[in-house]
Amino acid sequence: MPMLADPSIKYKPYTPLNLPDRQWPAKINRAPPIWLSTDLRDGNQALANPMTIPQKMSFFETLVKCGFKEIEVSYPAASDTDFNFVRMLIEENRVPDDVWLQVLTPAREDLIKRTVDAVAGSKRAIIHMYNATSCLFRTVVFRNSKEETLALAVKHTEIIRKLTEECTAKYGTQFRYEYSPETFSQTEPEFALEVCEAVKKAWGKAGTAYDERIIFNLPATVEIGPPNHYADLVEHFSRNISEREKIFISLHPHNDRGTGIAAAELGQMAGADRVEGCLFGNGERTGNVDLVNLALNLYTQGVHPKVDFSDIQAVIDVVTACNDLPVHPRHPYAGELVFTAFSGSHQDAIKKGFEAQRARHAKARAQGEPEHWEMPYLPIDPADLGSTYEAVIRVNAQSGKGGIAYLVQQHLGLDMPRKLQVAFYAVIQEIADREAREMTVEDITTAFRKTFHLGGSAYEGRLNLKSFRISAEPAAGGVDGEAVDERRQFDGTVSVDGQLRVLRGDGNGPLSALLDALRTHLQIDLSLREYSEHTIGQDQNAKAASFVELVPNSGDVKETRASTESYWGVGIDADIAGSGLRAVLSAANNAIGDRPLPELKLSVGFNARSGQADIATAILNSLKLELPRRLQASFFEAVQRAAHGSGGEISYDALVGLFRERYGYYDEEENPRFAVKSFKLEHLNASGRAKLSGEFIINGKPVSLEGEGNGPLSAAVEAVNRGLDGKVSIREYAEHSIGEGSEVKAASYVEVAYEGPGGSPKWTTWGVAIDSDITASGLKAVLAATKAVELADEEARRTAGQK
């Protein structure tokens, strides 16, 4: 059957109440009503499978926990389950002293008796009697006249009065009385008043105290008109009932028109004191008014509702389990999607809202002012309901970059620059499209780590920074009086496809020095287009985060800068230079993809620049030593000389052998050529001078040495000098650790200058040593260098002889 072209031939509109001086539109609800939960009665009656006693019990406990003080627990005359449940509550002492048990009864003497029996012995009970008063029900359902309807209410009110008084005398139960002119909203307003006046008179003992008031409950049993009409009816009743101060006016809205909440709110403005309803709006047909919704509406107006939903999920869990009905995903406050923004513009607004609010709250806090909640799209702080901000934003293929940026900010502490947001957004969209599903927070953070090779070995890229040193290179070629920017040198160990490589490069800053190193050693030719950084965290835990955008080098500066191809990288490090370098490698990893990188060259050619680092790489991989740059240069010269005799080629083993020989580096423990057998270091005075004495092995021979200096090394040098005609001095010293934990050793590099007797020209050479003790390692390096001094001396003499 089609919908009618003219529905007025079938449906009549409601009859408006003539109330031109209505007051309620100007009223504001500034206090919570008395709440009555009728979940266990009205709600339960509407279930396909009414609750079992254990379910009712768990629901009751949840209501008590939420703070409900008036709970309609059953319709005891309707079923044994309902009757027994009330008895169990009372006999097992399950009802807190300040909670009123309410039970419903129709206007029938036998049923009233059973109802009063059900609550006998409870501390506090409300007997709730109803009879239908509307014209439709009077004429069609019950075939009663107005007079008969009124007489029925009066007679049974008198019965309730008598039976409850007897019960009080016998068991001490304190009673209140609630009367519902059922179908109130369809009852002639004057007749509803007439019946209630008669009931009040029959009850005969309404007083002004809370416990003495009679409750007149005004049900919109079926919602038949707009909420303002209901409010008019309530205001009319409230203004015209006598002894208003001895009455609680209670509302009982249903939701047939979808305006149950509005009806309850306008009804309170119209003078009602009390609201009956169910959690999440369970109840016949479209349900009773939703008490959670009403309470939280008040809460977001800054009025505490006197019921608590700070763990709303726990309440949802109990209610859905007992009702066997879901809460709609878009249900106000309670639905699983209500703190979720899918649309990009909403996500972006929320992200900005949180940022602005953080600043506003900090300011308000400083000035001792309230930290008000003002957030786009979020009328309530999810945290107040036990939800977390993590749940605020979910991402699908339609989501915007703002939401994703927000999640990355929340979970990784990184504020992505705008262009990076765009780039990473493309990554997420690609994944979301490919997998055709919604992305979780974890999907996004994992994708971020993978994309930028952040956060541990699981996400490492092909290029990995192991160690580095940035040093200043004296400016070369400065024109007179013209300031020249100091150049930077990068010396580092980078794992390349799992193999350690020594990389070095120069540039105007650390990043360009690393880019130079990548270009020189790995043919990765990239330029820096954008760089930004910020700190994460505070104080000693603070870290630096860097973001770089690299573009392929085209050879032309303008063209390079305008490149449409670009790679982003992100780096985090305790050190700002480290975070920048890591960001460059992160972007370089993205640029190289899986293209093969040039292999390590071990033959010694004429490309001296890359050659030095390649030789250093060989030493790094065989001996784990990270040579200082000047030692790399020194050793490279030696290697070239050695290779000269073998056609420019030198084997790996020969290279390592040459290094050991030249720098006195022997890590074997038995029969060492250089060793510290024992030493003693005395601090001579406050100036820090030290006296060193000890037994050493130099070049396989035991030697006793004694000397003084500003520290152990200079004391060792002085001791060595005592046995020489010439003079040794330290030019450079470097050290680093090898290994981890209890296996850690110190590697020391000492460059000494040797001045022959009679002031002959200075020669410099290096000594290298490792030891588990850092002082011993330094001393051994000095001793090893003095062996090299002899070699240098011999060479000097030979060179002199050749001239």
Least Cβ distance, residue 272 to Zn ion (angstroms): 15
Bridge partner residues of 552 (DSSP): 526
Q: How far is the C-alpha of 272 from the C-alpha of 263, rounded, in Å?
A: 11
Both structure tokens of 168? 């009080």
Least Cβ distance, residue 38 to Zn ion (angstroms): 7
Least Cβ distance, residue 256 to Zn ion (angstroms): 11
Selection from 267, 313, 322 nearest residue 292 by Cα:
313
Q: How far is the C-alpha of 114 from the C-alpha of 755, rounded, in Å?
A: 117
Per CB under 5 A, residues contacting Zn ion are: 42
Selection from 725, 719, 677 nearest residue 701 by Cα:
677
Q: What share of the chain is helix, strand, coil (3-state, %, to 5)?
A: 45, 20, 35
Q: How far is the C-alpha of 400 from the C-alpha of 398, rounded, in Å?
A: 7
Question: CB count, 10 Å around CB of 460?
Answer: 14
Long-range (24+ apart) CB contacts under 8 A made by 767-770 are 767/663, 767/664, 767/665, 768/625, 768/631, 768/659, 768/663, 768/664, 768/665, 769/664, 769/665, 769/674, 770/625, 770/665, 770/667, 770/738, 770/745, 770/746
- Nearest CB to Zn ion, comparing residues 41 and 123: 41
Selection from 50, 124, 108 nearest residue 80 by Cα:
50
Least Cβ distance, residue 42 to Zn ion (angstroms): 4
Selection from 237, 138, 142, 250 nearest residue 196 by Cα:
237
Question: CB count, 10 Å around CB of 443?
Answer: 17
- Nearest CB to Zn ion, comparing residues 42 and 82: 42
Residue for token pair 């780096």:
571
- Nearest CB to Zn ion, comparing residues 42 and 70: 42
Q: How far is the C-alpha of 623 from the C-alpha of 600, rounded, in Å?
A: 17
Q: How far is the C-alpha of 405 from the C-alpha of 421, rounded, in Å?
A: 6
Q: Which residue is nearest to Zn ion (CB)?
A: 42
Least Cβ distance, residue 410 to Zn ion (angstroms): 44
Both structure tokens of 611? 């050659």
- Nearest CB to Zn ion, comparing residues 39 and 42: 42
Selection from 629, 699, 674, 642 nearest residue 768 by Cα:
674
- Nearest CB to Zn ion, comparing residues 104 and 604: 104
Least Cβ distance, residue 350 to Zn ion (angstroms): 38
Least Cβ distance, residue 283 to Zn ion (angstroms): 6
Least Cβ distance, residue 253 to Zn ion (angstroms): 9
Specify the DSSP class assigned to residue 71. E
Both structure tokens of 406? 């927000």
Least Cβ distance, residue 182 to Zn ion (angstroms): 9
Least Cβ distance, residue 430 to Zn ion (angstroms): 53
- Nearest CB to Zn ion, comparing residues 42 and 491: 42
Least Cβ distance, residue 180 to Zn ion (angstroms): 9
Least Cβ distance, residue 197 to Zn ion (angstroms): 23
Neighbouring residues of 26: CB distance < 8 A, sequence distance ≥ 6: none
Q: How far is the C-alpha of 66 from the C-alpha of 482, rounded, in Å?
A: 78
Least Cβ distance, residue 288 to Zn ion (angstroms): 6
- Nearest CB to Zn ion, comparing residues 44 and 586: 44
Neighbouring residues of 328: CB distance < 8 A, sequence distance ≥ 6: 335
Q: Are 787 and 781 in contact (CB under 8 A)?
A: no
Q: Are 187 and 134 in contact (CB under 8 A)?
A: yes
Q: How far is the C-alpha of 327 from the C-alpha of 319, rounded, in Å?
A: 9
